[in-house]
Structure 1
């Protein structure tokens, strides 16, 4: 089949990584995949067989604004017409993130499924705090998904959309994010001289309000001083500035964006997730896959679908650092064997890719 994956950019982020994994797996099954990035920004190493093209020069931050959208939808449609001439058919189009969704939703392009990577309600609540224009832009972006076929990355996100009255899709289903466990474990075993010998906990995620580094730092300040805290995030200076307020700046290690986070995760005593909301919580699965215990806020959505059975005791309410402290102490004392977590079977790349390919039929 001929498949096109459209995404806003390929900067370091969860949705971007998910789509690169999916594209690789599709190519390994002898399908022809093109990733179309609206922007030229690429932070990830692009594996050899993958074809990546960009539609606009620069960062493409305003390509879907009302004064530009008609013109840019035509640019997008022209790209697809060229691709159609080249390939003869396009069997499946996957759209990711708001700018891509906004352009594709207004286009005449066929066979599109829109992937919803995050809690719609939580995104809107956060945007409201940034002012009315930001909020209205995001609300309109979500409403553009009315009458479209949606793929949600967790059952929680699917239920939220079904129960709400903002989006009425033509079809909706959940397909979990794909994980290539063979590749993850190979990278987890790579040596890295920058990884400290001292015991450390780890947090992986953008330095953004959603991730609640304030809760993370407040929690860490109450733990045994023998531990370091590794942050794999952007905005290093902001991280240290906030850490200073909690008196933990000397225990912080911030290597910045890492192409391979898995060897850092594998050697950590535990991985912590302190978010107010997620779409799924990829990093929890990645930690379980390399045998690292996790503690997470029970945020909407994802963590409660990942940490099930015995592991559910390491879920805590959002925004409560005291409870996070207790759960971290518990997980460090238990050192649970997480390699057999039930979620791992459900998210293996092969199984997930077959679910995506079935959409074309």
Structure 2
């Protein structure tokens, strides 16, 4: 039996164009379709997705430049608005929210979710930060009604950091909505960028930052025994200039395409022959699901922890050791030569439909 009309508040740092922020908007629409009232609560009302959220939902700005000010303002918000459910994503908000709920004297259900592997994300921040991370997760997670990781690996990491039993954590995979079929004009624009016939087109999609280890992908690409192959980077970021220099150093600059950021990368998935992910770690890996939904084969590093789970240990794509450029090059070469069951890939991607994820959240909150 569905429990309608619940007031659900979603707490985030902001609404920049990241994965967790996009996922929260997708879930918000699903909660609204189920009859619930959704409101976004932001530490700072800014980001590329802010206007999109405001078109459908109320947005509250806590207007706190510093994290240490969030607790007081969140307590005030909770007392005034009195939501039935508070969903908090991303540490330290995942630890602040349960404490704020207790201080506000509310009975609202607090669900916290992490979207990355915190122990890896903050491993170089020093001993004091590690102690603070363990202390805050140990308190905040215990006070939460439910605790969610977006992959089994993230859930295990949450349990380890907080010294809690693994069975007190749940896994709900990220919702990845199917994209509309690209227009003929969008496909033509992608084709123009490839400037090469099909058969040897490799694409990667994501922000150019250290954790994605794009230099590994470039070095593996340089080893491919396919002089006609092309590698396209869809995305932008702080590592772009270094990647351009490395492509020149490796002698493959004329076969590497830097397409820049595109809000809808589906034309590039659909015109590519292979999608490659070279990350050192991933909380989940939405881009893998996006590629599968287009019927595009996948090669990925077997990094902690989402890719292995999405690809079911290699059933739906090839997995290679993290940091092994020779293994990555060989896997890409083999994948380009292998037949593709596109229907199977598309069917696997359907397992991550937004309605499935939203149902998981509502079930944990006893709202179904």
What is the TM-score normalised by the length of structure 1?
0.84
Partner of 1:154 in structure 2? 151
1:167 alignment partner, one of 159, 163, 167? 163
Shift of 1:136: 4.5
Partner of 1:297 in structure 2? 301
Q: Which has the higher helix share?
A: 2
Deviations 1:249-272 (A, max 9, x none): 443333333221222222222111
- Structure 1's unaligned 5+ residue stretches are 85-89
Number of residue pairs the alignment of both structures matches: 341
Instruction: Indicate how the Cα distance of structure 1 residues 121 and 328 shifts in structure 2: closer, same or farther if over 3 A, else same.
Output: same
- Alpha-carbon distance between aligned partners in 1 of 2:169 and 2:236, rounded to the nearest angstrom: 32
Instruction: Indicate how the Cα distance of structure 1 residues 139 and 227 shifts in structure 2: closer, same or farther if over 3 A, else same.
Output: farther
Partner of 2:195 in structure 1? 198
- Alpha-carbon distance between aligned partners in 2 of 1:99 and 1:250, rounded to the nearest angstrom: 44
Partner of 2:110 in structure 1? 112
Instruction: Indicate how the Cα distance of structure 1 residues 92 and 306 shifts in structure 2: closer, same or farther if over 3 A, else same.
Output: same
How large is the Cα RMSD of the aligned pairs? 2.7
1:288 alignment partner, one of 273, 285, 292? 292
Deviations 1:329-361 (A, max 9, x none): 111111412432464343111121111112332
- Alpha-carbon distance between aligned partners in 2 of 1:43 and 1:288, rounded to the nearest angstrom: 26
What is the TM-score normalised by the length of structure 2?
0.82
Partner of 1:22 in structure 2? 27
Partner of 1:234 in structure 2? 237
Counterpart of 1:315 in 2: which secondary structure? strand
Confirm or deny: 8 A CA contact 1:117 1:152 kept in the other structure.
yes
Deviations 1:59-81 (A, max 9, x none): x4xx22xxxx2x43111122233
Instruction: Indicate how the Cα distance of structure 1 residues 246 and 19 shifts in structure 2: closer, same or farther if over 3 A, else same.
Output: farther
Partner of 1:53 in structure 2? 60
Shift of 1:156: 2.7
Counterpart of 1:295 in 2: which secondary structure? strand
Q: What is the 5 A alignment of 1:260-299?
A: 260-299=264-303
Confirm or deny: 8 A CA contact 1:25 1:349 kept in the other structure.
yes
- Alpha-carbon distance between aligned partners in 2 of 1:36 and 1:351, rounded to the nearest angstrom: 24
Deviations 1:285-305 (A, max 9, x none): 111011111101111111121
1:217 and 2:218 matched: yes
Shift of 1:158: 2.5
Q: What is the 5 A alignment of 1:320-331?
A: 320-331=324-335
1:317 alignment partner, one of 318, 321, 342? 321
Counterpart of 2:186 in 1: which secondary structure? coil
